[in-house]
Chain A
Amino acid sequence: GAVVSQHPSRVICKSGTSVKIECRSLDFQATTMFWYRQFPKKSLMLMATSNEGSKATYEQGVEKDKFLINHASLTLSTLTVTSAHPEDSSFYICSARGQVQSGQYFGPGTRLTVT
């Protein structure tokens, strides 16, 4: 149990376009979802925390107008990278936690490349 999926697993987009990444909890209701960014050979950096039905809480230094997060249902959160630039290229990982689960369960990540 406690499976989290992400879609797409890889995406390449052109500079200036927007990209949406989906994070789904497949077998539990995720009251809270987290979005992380990871640079090559580095650890995970929390970008934002989203609770179902409310606005996301962004970490310091993360532009909320650039990284739009929507957590419209208990099984789906989306991260939209708006007007993407090459420096936004990274590995984006989501995690989810439900009312029953004591820990966070991570998705497989999405590799974004902006050309």
Chain B
Amino acid sequence: TQLLEQSPQFLSIQEGENLTVYCNSSSVFSSLQWYRQEPGEGPVLLVTVVTGGEVKKLKRLTFQFGDARKDSSLHITAAQPGDTGLYLCATSGAAGNKLTFGGGTRVLVKP
């Protein structure tokens, strides 16, 4: 099972500030997914990255996949209180079946 490490575990910022969340592994990702989960709800898929060096943007969110496909980052520009939640990275591994999740980063954006 591929281990995913997320950092930081918790991030508290003021509205309007930027933040970056990291996801790392000692193994190569076949693909990587980022999810956001709000309290009492299931995770919602934000993006899937597949190609090394890939950059994807989703409004104020920018996702990067490392060239070696061992790391990924999620950057939020001008964070808003609505961005508050648990951000999870996950990979399905080479078999493409079950997902392995990172430990998650809890983000709190204060108004």
Contact = CB atoms under 8 A, between A and B. Distances in A.
Contact of A109 (B33, B35, B41, B102): B41
Contacts, number: 46
Interface stretch (B14-22, B42-50, B60-68, B75-83): B42-50
Nearest to A103: B45
B97 A106 contact: no
B42 A103 contact: no
Given A43-B88, A103-B48, A49 B98 contact: yes
A49 B97 CA distance: 9
20 contacts: A4-B42, A43-B86, A43-B88, A43-B101, A45-B101, A46-B99, A46-B100, A91-B40, A93-B42, A93-B43, A95-B42, A103-B33, A103-B48, A105-B45, A106-B42, A106-B44, A107-B42, A108-B41, A108-B42, A109-B42
Nearest to B103: A43
B69 interface: no
Contacts of A107: 42
Interface string A12-46: 00000000000000000000101000000111111
Contact of A44 (B40, B41, B101): B101
B53 to A, nearest CB: 21
A41 B48 CA distance: 23
Interface of B: 33, 35, 40-45, 48, 86, 88, 97-104, 106
Contacts of A108: 41-42
Contacts of B44: 106
Nearest to B43: A106
Given A103-B45, A106-B42, A111-B40, A43 B102 contact: yes
